[in-house]
Amino acid sequence: MADQYAHSGDDKRPTEIPAIRWEEPPEGPVLVLLDQTRLPAEEVELVCTDASALVEAIRSLAVRGAPLLGIAGAYGVALAAVRGFDVEEAAAALAGARPTAVNLAVGVRRAQSAHEAALAKGGDVGQAAATALAAARQLHREDAEASGRMAEHGLALLDELLPGGGHRILTHCNTGSLVSGGEGTAFAVALAAHRTGRLRRLWVDETRPLLQGARLTAYEAARSGMAYTLLTDNAAGSLFAAGEVDAVLIGADRITADGSVANKVGSYPLAVLARYHHVPFIVVAPVTTVDLDTADGASIEVEQRPGHEVTEVTAPQVPVAGVEAGGGIPVAPLGTQAYNPAFDVTPSELVTAIVTEEGVVSPVTAEALAELCARSRRV
């Protein structure tokens, strides 16, 4: 296929896009989010002064993506503590805001445990709040570092699986700096391939219905200057059939003890296609996404989203002149029921490798994942 399909990003803004930050203006501490529902049309910030505003931002996907949800959850607990709200109540609301990405509950728990430990040691509420904030900041830093290490391991794996470079990589949903303290997970590997001259093209699935690929990954790709091409999700099959995909790189929202991978709906069909066409299917995720307490894919709670996300083209996901944010343009007859799971689950036998900051698991087995988690706890 001719390279006429590749758009080389010409956006000269920095690749790093800070998706979240803690600020302390005179009126009191706040959590500032880049509102991802408004991208790419507008770069608008959302200022959260309490955990309930953050819960709403999580539900509406203003802040999203597994690693970033963990960071947001931890800061949310710190925000409740610093502003004198009931920390337990806030933590429960935050952890339950979305069910599938395990990082959210992990991040919340991390700040909450730090808070509890400080109180148990006899610290006052101010010291406990400061400890919760320090835990959130630490998680934020660790995620940034993990990102860099995932990129290194992922690049080495690509070299091993696809010697010679010139990679044409297909990705789904959004996994760059919009979901991370660093450059992301799967996207960070593609970025490393781009920077070292190994990436020929990033194929970007649009990712129906909320268009994380079209709106967010294309936005990140354009800023990085890499060659990328957008496709509708259902065009992926013909792309594989044409021999145009060398590897699939995706992120994950939860990886269970048996190696099943929950990720944005549409990932599983890509894994099936990849197996049929003998193309590596690679999952890139931090160790915090591995959930050994969930035995298998069938035990994962898959978030079901409202039907209107499918039956309407929703503003502001696609800003439309004359349509208010939150309003939608119907694309199905009024009253149509929709099936709208936010995620699907890919069984381990379809996953070539899981790339983490601690190294690569391949083949993906329960034993190898348990060993990886044990190793990561030791360091």
Annotated binding residue at 263?
Answer: yes
Comparison of 64 and 140: residue with beta carbon closer to ligand MRU: 64
**Alpha-carbon torsion, ordered 103, 106, 109, 115, to 10 deg:** -80
Confirm whether residue 212 is marked as ligand binding.
Answer: yes
Asked if residue 317 belongs to a known ligand binding site, the reply is no
Nearer to ligand MRU, 80 or 284 (CB): 284
Assigned token pair, 333: 């007859």
CB of 64 to ligand MRU, least distance (A): 3
- Least separation in angstroms between residue 243's CB and ligand MRU is 25
**Strand ranges, E, within the chain:** 7-8, 20-23, 30-34, 45-48, 167-171, 199-205, 227-231, 247-250, 254-256, 261-264, 281-284, 290-291, 312-314, 328-330, 343-346, 353-356, 359-361
87 or 236, CB closer to ligand MRU?
236
Neighbours of 234 (CB within 10 A): 12
Residues that bind ligand MRU (CB under 6 A): 61, 64-67, 101, 173, 175, 179, 184-185, 212, 251-253, 263-264, 342
Active-site hit among 143, 253, 258, 344: 253
Q: Which residue is nearest to ligand MRU (CB)?
A: 251
Give yes or no for a contact between 187 and 285, defined as CB atoms under 8 angstroms apart. no
Nearest to 173 by CA among 157, 161, 165, 185: 185
**Four-point Cα dihedral 97, 57, 37, 144, nearest 10:** -80
- For residues 108 and 82, give the distance between their C-alpha atoms in angstroms, rounded to a whole number: 15
Distance in angstroms (rounded) separating the CA atoms of residues 17 and 285: 19
Binding site annotation covers 146?
no
At 298, which amino acid appears? A
Nearer to ligand MRU, 112 or 346 (CB): 346
Q: Is position 340 annotated in a ligand binding site?
A: no
Q: Which residue lies nearer to ligand MRU by CB, 36 or 352?
A: 36
Least separation in angstroms between residue 147's CB and ligand MRU is 9
Separation of alpha carbons 333 and 336, rounded Å: 6
CB of 281 to ligand MRU, least distance (A): 14
Residue 377 known to bind ligand: no
Q: Is 253 a catalytic residue?
A: yes
Give the shortest CB-101-to-ligand MRU separation in angstroms: 6
- The Cα–Cα gap between 348 and 262 comes to 11
Give the residue numbers of the binding site. Answer: 64-66, 98, 212, 263-264
Give the residue numbers of the binding site for substrate. Answer: 64-66, 98, 212, 263-264
Q: Enumerate the active-site residues.
A: 253
